Structure 1
Amino acid sequence: MTGSVVSGEQPSASNVGEPRTEVAPVRTGEDLDWAALEAYLRMHLDDVDGEFSVLQFPRGSANLTYRVGFGDRLLVVRRPPFGQLARGAHDMTREYRVLSRLHREYDRAPRALLHCADESVVGAEFFVSEYRDGVVVWDSVPESMSGVDDAGRRIGYAVIDALADLHAVDPAACDLAGLGRPEGYLERQVHGWLARWDAVAEYAPAETAALVAEVTRRIRAAIPASQRAGIVHNDYKVDNCQFPHGHPDRVKSVFDWDMATTGDVLVDLGTLLNYWPDRTVDPESDAAFIVVPGMHGLDLPSRAEVVERYAAGSDLDLSNIDWYEAFGCWKTVVILQQLYARFVRGETTDARMGQRGEFVAPLARRALSLLPA
């Protein structure tokens, strides 16, 4: 293999004050067969004549994402994490399908260029997409926006507007009408996430498992009637959005589409609210948020303002939004438990995953605070 691949131990990217570099040397234990990958890409892509290089996007918690270079041409390669995977999770075929089409109607979707189903190349299916330069907001206003007035609030409103624009896309216009089955979507979602929890519940303390079981009971008892189907991202949050350097008013790209489908679009709004830091909420209450440290300092709009902004551009009834937020919280509980289970089973060397289980019980209590008994 020609070129360079940089590997090494990486610090945790989940705490304020640690490096915020976009890419870093490949984390120990997450190297792929770079020679096989290089040969495959040179065979199946045009304009890949330069020297081969690889760095990793270190911030993600699950899918393995790498920035691959051929000279000055940069691409993104994504594959599922190592180890046992939940059914339907980390679906590279789905993500490729969405990103190879959605860009026609939604310019914030990076264009996918290539899908490889041959697991012998890098140990799993993977896809390749265009690389976009920009900045992701994690735990502080990016340096390039530090001199911009009211940057945090403008970032927040841009994130909400990008979600509303996605929900306005007609799936049929970009050949995605068959992506999912909107009829019965919420019921299937609840059933599927319950199955995921059951697969990893054994790694939770008995008290936590009982708490999650009560959340599940209330979620199932209050499933609302869906109002309108559209494209659902299914993991929409601030740090899955990219901005142009120095410009907080419009999202440039939205990432992580492996769970995208067509269904009840308010699921995305509930997910966004679940991740949204809000200074108006008592940090000592059961309704307190578990967010990336430092995000409160962004001075984003409040959750009430998020709902108001979304409602201004929508004709949907948002009176049941608390259920959608609780559902988003419950899904996050399951995801955190899955990540923790992967660490316990020795399927990842990422030390951050060993801490994910600590947040399961607090988030379950928050979900309960949003649901009727």
Structure 2
Amino acid sequence: MTDTRPVRDSEQLDWEKLAAYLRRALNLDGEMRVSQFPGGHSNLTYDLAFGDFELVLRRPPFGPVPPRAHDMAREYRVLAAVHPHFPLAPQPYLLCEDASVIGSVFYVMERRRGIVVRNEESFDEALRRNISANMIDTLAQLHAIDVAAHGLDALGKPAGFVARQIRGWTERWHGSKTSDVPDMEWLARWLEERIPPDPPRATLVHGDFKLDNVMLASDDPSRLVGVFDWEMSAIGDPLVDLGILLCYWVHAPMSDVTRNPGWFTRDEILARYPGDVSNVALYEVFAVFKLAVVIQQIYARFARGQTDDPRFAQMGERVVDLARIAKTLTEAA
């Protein structure tokens, strides 16, 4: 079964120019075959093949993007720094900052193969439990990396990280909203009033750690073989990652997969994670708020005619639902 599809008409690139560039830069031969990964809702991801050699291209979406968002150069540099110490992060091959090649900055990285769980799976309960446990253990391994010893502290400024996150995503909400959503304004104020202190130890933060951003081995799906989408990674508070995982897993899943028997519950996730999770409820609220802003940014691109992807047409309603979910979660925080 293939994990790619033909490229959407509205997301075609100058393939001839790109192929010529990659042949020169990476010493490749032959014709270039192109397909597109259908998952994801923001950055565009393509599969490129020269004979048996495959690589993955990542570029920003078409049209104007929010400041500091979709930073492909930063994502490339994060992967280059992290891959040697966390091999589940793909190895990047090349960064191109010459927008004349395909119209934007882009990078290419290694292609990995395996299973990405999105809308359905047919695992038994025991395998679901094993995958759940290995997901949490992988996140803990990422957070256990000695940032200073490996020179990764250059990837971010941990002091005030959560405060910058809350204020930054509030700014993105105001910059992308297409209608008033009172619950979002209420949540922004609620979060601003409850900014937590910096953690005792800052860690590498993935920023979007969830089930469909990991790849499972085809021959043993309990084993992870890849962790993708490092665009929002930073050095900061590890509970941000845990909140995001719980957001997608428990509170606002994009599908019903993790509601099937065997997948860990919220309590089981928190029990497995080796750290102080006493204040995690605040981070869950922030994660759902952040997801609402991400969805709003995507919907705004659709509403402004910057994409014709039909998946985005109803996302405005999703923002309202997420704001309601996040507001309900504040009662536990």
Report the TM-score, using the length of structure 1 for normalisation: 0.85
Moved more, 83-92 or 125-134: 83-92
SS of 2:56's equivalent? strand
State the distance in 2 between where 1:248 and 1:28 align: 34
Q: Match for residue 151 of structure 1?
A: 127
CA deviation digits over 1:319-350, x for unaligned, max 9?
11000011100000100111110000011111
SS of 1:127's equivalent? strand
1:56-75 mapped onto 2 (5 Å cutoff): 56-75=36-55
Select which of 24, 33, 42 maps to 1:53.
Answer: 33
State the distance in 2 between where 1:41 and 1:171 align: 33
Q: Given residue 108 of structure 1, which amino acid in structure 2 is its aligned partner?
A: L
Q: Match for residue 322 of structure 2?
A: 363
| Mapped contact 1:340–1:354 kept (Cα < 8 A) | yes
State the distance in 2 between where 1:188 and 1:292 align: 30
Select which of 287, 291, 294 maps to 1:332.
Answer: 291
Cα offset, 1:45, TM superposition: 0.6
State the distance in 1 between where 2:257 and 2:73 align: 35
Establish whether residue 259 from structure 1 lines up as the match of residue 239 from structure 2: no
Establish whether residue 93 from structure 1 lines up as the match of residue 73 from structure 2: yes
Q: Match for residue 110 of structure 1?
A: 90
Select which of 80, 103, 124 maps to 1:123.
Answer: 103
State the distance in 2 between where 1:255 and 1:265 align: 17
Q: Match for residue 238 of structure 1?
A: 211
Cα offset, 1:50, TM superposition: 3.2
Cα offset, 1:217, TM superposition: 1.1
| Mapped contact 2:252–2:288 kept (Cα < 8 A) | no
Q: Match for residue 196 of structure 1?
A: 172
| Mapped contact 2:115–2:221 kept (Cα < 8 A) | no
1:21-36 mapped onto 2 (5 Å cutoff): 21-36=2-17
| Mapped contact 2:125–2:261 kept (Cα < 8 A) | no
Q: Given residue 255 of structure 2, which amino acid in structure 1 is its aligned partner?
A: V
Q: Given residue 104 of structure 2, which amino acid in structure 1 is its aligned partner?
A: A
Cα offset, 1:289, TM superposition: 3.2
Q: Match for residue 305 of structure 1?
A: 268
Cα offset, 1:296, TM superposition: 2.1
State the distance in 1 between where 2:150 and 2:58 align: 22
Cα offset, 1:299, TM superposition: 3.5
Cα offset, 1:176, TM superposition: 2.1
| Mapped contact 1:78–1:127 kept (Cα < 8 A) | yes
Establish whether residue 180 from structure 1 lines up as the match of residue 156 from structure 2: yes
| Mapped contact 1:162–1:250 kept (Cα < 8 A) | no
Q: Match for residue 80 of structure 1?
A: 60
| Mapped contact 1:25–1:55 kept (Cα < 8 A) | yes
State the distance in 1 between where 2:296 and 2:99 align: 27
SS of 1:177's equivalent? helix
Report the TM-score, using the length of structure 2 for normalisation: 0.95
Q: Given residue 95 of structure 1, which amino acid in structure 2 is its aligned partner?
A: E
Select which of 231, 238, 241 maps to 1:268.
Answer: 241
| Mapped contact 1:226–1:264 kept (Cα < 8 A) | yes
Q: Given residue 6 of structure 2, which amino acid in structure 1 is its aligned partner?
A: P
1:198-237 mapped onto 2 (5 Å cutoff): 198-201=174-177, 203-204=178-179, 206=180, 209-227=181-199, 228-237=201-210
State the distance in 1 between where 2:126 and 2:33 align: 38
Structure 2 stretches lacking a partner, 5+ long? none
CA deviation digits over 1:174-210, x for unaligned, max 9?
4321111101111111111011000112x13x3xx21
Cα offset, 1:294, TM superposition: 4.2
| Mapped contact 1:105–1:173 kept (Cα < 8 A) | no
| Mapped contact 1:141–1:298 kept (Cα < 8 A) | no
Cα offset, 1:167, TM superposition: 0.5
SS of 1:252's equivalent? strand
Cα offset, 1:290, TM superposition: 4.2
Structure 1 stretches lacking a partner, 5+ long? 1-19, 278-287
State the distance in 2 between where 1:235 and 1:365 align: 21
Moved more, 341-350 or 295-304: 295-304
Q: Given residue 274 of structure 1, which amino acid in structure 2 is its aligned partner?
A: C
SS of 2:189's equivalent? helix
State the distance in 2 between where 1:325 and 1:371 align: 9
Percent of residue pairs identical:
45
Q: Given residue 260 of structure 1, which amino acid in structure 2 is its aligned partner?
A: S
SS of 2:22's equivalent? helix
SS of 2:46's equivalent? strand
Cα offset, 1:51, TM superposition: 2.7
State the distance in 1 between where 2:49 and 2:2 align: 17
Q: Given residue 225 of structure 2, which amino acid in structure 1 is its aligned partner?
A: K
| Mapped contact 1:104–1:174 kept (Cα < 8 A) | no
Q: Given residue 167 of structure 1, which amino acid in structure 2 is its aligned partner?
A: H
Q: Given residue 184 of structure 2, which amino acid in structure 1 is its aligned partner?
A: V
State the distance in 2 between where 1:123 and 1:298 align: 46
Cα offset, 1:71, TM superposition: 0.2
Residue correspondences, number:
331
Select which of 39, 61, 67 maps to 2:20.
Answer: 39
Select which of 223, 234, 259 maps to 1:250.
Answer: 223
